[in-house]
Structure 1
Amino acid sequence: MLRQLWIPLYVLWLRLRVAIWGTSAFEHAVFHCPPWLALGILKAMHIPVGEGIDFHGRLHLHGTYDLRGKLKIGAWCHIGPGVTLDLSAPILLEDRCTLSLRSTILTHEDVGYSPLRESAFPTRSQGVTVETGAYIGAGATLLMGVRVGRCAVVGAGALVREDVPPYTVVAGVPARVIRRLDRQLHPLE
């Protein structure tokens, strides 16, 4: 009962902070609140969130200046502690996927004010999709434009810069396919 009362009060306080200090207040507030409250905040900010979401710690959202259509979390997803989501472009987490401890999804590339910006590395962004049943290991990083296939596994600490096919295991820096999973042994139903 007390938790149900806290969510609208916290969201009201959060909206005031955002109105006064800008969206960095939103990033800070979501990161520094209890997991049960983060879920309420995401729903109150009209971010589509499925049932049975399991937050196990602080969630860090980056690039929250415009949240419309930038994040969708499917049903029965697990979000581990210290996960970072860069919302410069859309992120889609389909049903029953897992983002383990301190995993990161980056949707943009920006070298700041470096002179390289004009020639070699212009700022760009592209969405990331984690398909149904996929598992992202602890400390893994998904770079912009990546699609992790259905029931794929990304090993701990991997750096994923290319699409991961469904029912495969990738690991390493950069991530490479190290194993293929038998679809019959890993049904999703």
Structure 2
Amino acid sequence: MIHPLSDVSSSRIGTGTSIWQFSVVLGGAVIGNDCNICAHTFIENDVIIGNRVTVKCGVYIWDGISVQDDVFIGPNVTFTNDRYPRSKQYPEEFLQTVIEQGASIGANATILPGVRIGRFSMIGAGSVVTKDVPENSLVVGNPARVIRKLEEPKS
């Protein structure tokens, strides 16, 4: 389901995926099956989103970001892809950010470029992720720090 008030240029949208109003998906983006892309989102060209991913309202996913299966991205999560941004000056290649399978990112968290968020990890609301997050970890704060290990979900 692609809402008529969204602007979706990509033809690579999986079955069962919903894209809600006022969302923009550029032509190069790939979105898997059974995803929920909520209102007021933006997905750039060099983005891959896996299956069963939820992207809540107010999230912009920039070039160089890949999101694996079963990831939850909370409202107003901020991704970045350039460590030293300047107007009209672009890097030759954007840093790659990977959100691994089953990770959850809380509302208003900020994810700096070039990090890997490990499988089944959780990012606390409002946290600022400046470095890689180990799998099965709960991180919070600014900068985000591991406060405890989590059990891997049972299948």
4+ residue segments displaced more than 3 Å: 3-7
How many residue pairs get aligned? The number is: 144
User: TM (normalized to structure 1)?
Assistant: 0.66
CA RMSD of aligned residues (A): 3.0
Inter-CA distance 45–176: structure 2 relative to 1 (3 Å threshold): same
Structure 1 segment 175-186 matched on structure 2, within 5 A = 175-183=144-152, 186=153
Equivalent residue number for residue 101 of structure 1: 75
Whole-Å separation in 2 of the counterparts to 1:72 and 1:144: 16
More strand per residue: 1 or 2? 2
Inter-CA distance 6–85: structure 2 relative to 1 (3 Å threshold): closer
Structure 1: gaps spanning 5 or more residues: 15-33, 118-122
More helix per residue: 1 or 2? 1
User: TM (normalized to structure 2)?
Assistant: 0.79
Equivalent residue number for residue 112 of structure 1: 86
Equivalent residue number for residue 40 of structure 2: 58
Inter-CA distance 147–97: structure 2 relative to 1 (3 Å threshold): same
1:161 aligns to 2:116 (yes or no): no
Inter-CA distance 74–111: structure 2 relative to 1 (3 Å threshold): closer
- Secondary structure of 1:177's aligned partner: strand
Whole-Å separation in 2 of the counterparts to 1:159 and 1:85: 16
Whole-Å separation in 2 of the counterparts to 1:134 and 1:144: 17
- Secondary structure of 1:110's aligned partner: coil
Find the partner of 2:52 among 70, 76, 96: 76
User: What is the CA-CA distance between 1:4 and the residue it aligns to?
Assistant: 7.0
Q: Tell which structure's C-alpha radius of gyration is larger.
A: 1
- Secondary structure of 1:109's aligned partner: coil
Inter-CA distance 100–5: structure 2 relative to 1 (3 Å threshold): closer
